[in-house]
Structure 1
Amino acid sequence: MDLETIKRYDDTLWLMYLKENTVFDADGIQEKKEWLIQTLEAHQDALQLALEVMEKNGLKNEEYVKIQSMVMNSIEKVDTTDE
């Protein structure tokens, strides 16, 4: 699931159901979602800044693609189980 899908997903009814009918911490779930969105946005900002610096320093295309791939892989591996 990508960042835009996470941000667009309306989980209001689902969280209300959890809060009223289960022992799950719906507020905690919402906080985790907000934390995840902030974390992914920060990673995207860092990637964009790194790519701009690489371009200004004349990084060769192969190196640019390799570093971009490494950063994207680290974003995909963000641990969403704990803060």
Structure 2
Amino acid sequence: MTSAEFRHRLAQALIAEQFAASQKQILLRARIDDHNVPPELASTIKLALEGGVPQLSEIQQEQLLTFLTEALANNPPALGRERRPSEEA
């Protein structure tokens, strides 16, 4: 890996980390209007946002995965292919 690619990947990682932290804060403060999230799942989501998925029990992880799988099936995220610095114009 060249130093240019290293710097590029480091910048991407730090930006992604900052973005993820800001998204978690937004989600932690959010109030869900449609009441489609049961209270036990809401507490699982809060635990996952505050401490990460490894902190959850297997049952909580399964509940979260089911919730996310259903949501993603209806509205998949648009993820782009990662580019190397040499591919950028």
Q: In which range does the TM-score fall when normalised by the shorter chain?
A: 0.3 to 0.5
TM-score, normalization: structure 1?
Answer: 0.44
